[in-house]
Structure 1
Amino acid sequence: MNLDLTGKLALVTGSTRGIGLATATGLAQMGAEVIVNGREAASVANAIAKIKQAAPAAKAYAAAFDLGGPEGCAGLTAQFPQVDILVNNLGIYEPGAFFDIEDDAWTRMFEVNVMSGVRLTRHYLKRMLDHKDWGRVVFVSSESAIFVPKEMIHYGFSKAAQLYVARGAAEQTKATNITVNSVLPGPTWVEMAPVRLAARAESMGTTIDDLAARTFTERRPASLLQRYATPEEVANLICYVCSKASSATNGAALRADGGIVTNPF
């Protein structure tokens, strides 16, 4: 199995922590040069240090841009006009009751989670097709795209939109060595998980441990994994899809959801 990405340049958006950082680290360990993106220069530098600790020979470049709007995307593409691998990982997550979610929250969710990937894919995929004979684009969606959570419908909506964008973009790649796919994580224990659970636990008068357990007894009882995945477990699938070994996988939605989605197709 050819997992060597030596000589390839990969951009992972939202890669200063969580699944994004684990993916950038994995790609670096596979030999790729990586562009690390975050809003703050300090967090990007810290992430690069972590990547180089895991992969001492890695070449990593800083891209401190807020990609939640067209200006940040334009700045990033100007600094790095061409890449071999694009991982659209950037995303925000915000629970809220449907009747309490105002228009600006819907707009922000769409701009960050969907339009960042649209803008970057429009730029980089076009150049892959025009100038290269190989390329990979991956959208990091969510099981919430299929199993829409009632506590954050706008998030599920944005993740479902990513699936359609990715499939439509994949249609542009017929008879090439360029692929566009989606990966759908399930509940993942990223750095912000305890913070989010702590806020919810306080409002509900319970504990973080109780809420974590209830994730799989109440919110996602269909889970076969019955625990949070680690960022590395999700990144393993993303990195494979970015590799040369995944050449026959295109236009697909691949799940790393722990078995939450019961539909086998």
Structure 2
Amino acid sequence: MKIDLSGKNAIVTGSTGGIGLAIASGLANAGATVTLVGRQQRSVDAALAKLREATGSGAAHGVVADVGTMEGCQALIAAQPQADILINNLGIYGAREFFDIDDALWEEFFQVNIMSGVRLARHYAQGMRERGWGRIQFISSESALNIPTEMVHYGVSKSALQGLSRGLAKVLAGTGVTVNSILPGPTRTEGAVQMMSDLAAERGVTQQEMEALFLKENRPSTLLGRFASPEEVANLCVYAASAQASATTGAALRVEGGIVESIM
């Protein structure tokens, strides 16, 4: 199978590192023109340099915008009015005792993890529908199905993305635009590495030992038995963005290492 996205314009939010940058690189390798989105010029420039070095593609752009806000979404839309592929990857997470999650933090997670995708999909899906082709993805998490006790607010926000993705897929039924959610599990992103490093220091173990402990204590049902790489997640996203995935829509596509105890 050869995935060819030549002539397609893709936007990937939260793409200055981790899963987002891996997705952007995968799309660029398949021939798409990619727009990276981040909050700081320095991080966007650095990500563009990494992408171009890794892919040899000069067909990449950067937009500095905080799409966790309405103003940031408007800035991105003004800079890039149209897209064939929209990857809503932006998201925040962090462990917090449930009784310490105040209203302000709930609202922040709602705005960043959910409303960023709502606002951008609301705009870009209209152009996709008019042209008769498009791909929209919401990067969710296995935590949408296995709500983690240490991150209830995060799990709830990702569950909401599942509903948003399925609902939008139904709205766009028969238009040539597919909408899917992607469910990664523990992934070795920069943020996860830092989190494991901090926990390892607290417990007096190595980072590698901490990753194993984290999975044993928090994700004991894992079949993969390790953290995935961002590229492993990106591979599924690139396929879902391709012409070959034209019959896949309204789906929750799992790349979480078998953590979810379900055969469906």
TM score, norm. by length of structure 2: 0.97
Matched, 1:100 2:122: no
- Aligned residue in 2 for 1:152: 151
Classify the secondary structure of the residue corresponding to 1:192: helix
Classify the secondary structure of the residue corresponding to 2:149: coil
Matched, 1:251 2:250: yes
- Identity over aligned residues, as a percent? 51
| C-alpha distance 203-248 of structure 1, shift in aligned 2 (>3 A) | same
How does 1:1-265 map onto structure 2 within 5 Å?
1-130=1-130, 132-204=131-203, 206-265=205-264
**Deviation, structure 1 residue 217:** 1.3
Classify the secondary structure of the residue corresponding to 2:150: coil
**Deviation, structure 1 residue 180:** 0.3
C-alpha distance in 2 between matches for 1:215 and 1:85: 34
Alpha carbons 1:31, 1:58 under 8 Å: kept: no
Q: Which amino acid aligns with 1:248?
A: A
Render the CA deviation track for 1:149-199: whole Å, top value 9, x for unaligned. 000000000000001001111012222211000000000001122211233
Q: Which amino acid aligns with 1:118?
A: V
Alpha carbons 2:182, 2:237 under 8 Å: kept: yes
Q: Which amino acid aligns with 2:195?
A: R
C-alpha distance in 2 between matches for 1:20 and 1:107: 23
C-alpha distance in 2 between matches for 1:39 and 1:11: 15
**Deviation, structure 1 residue 224:** 0.4
**Deviation, structure 1 residue 105:** 0.9
**Deviation, structure 1 residue 207:** 4.5
RMSD: 1.2
C-alpha distance in 2 between matches for 1:54 and 1:199: 29
| C-alpha distance 225-71 of structure 1, shift in aligned 2 (>3 A) | same
**Deviation, structure 1 residue 120:** 0.3
Unpaired runs of 5+ residues, structure 1, are: none
C-alpha distance in 1 between matches for 2:204 and 2:54: 40
**Deviation, structure 1 residue 51:** 1.0
C-alpha distance in 2 between matches for 1:236 and 1:114: 23
Unpaired runs of 5+ residues, structure 2, are: none
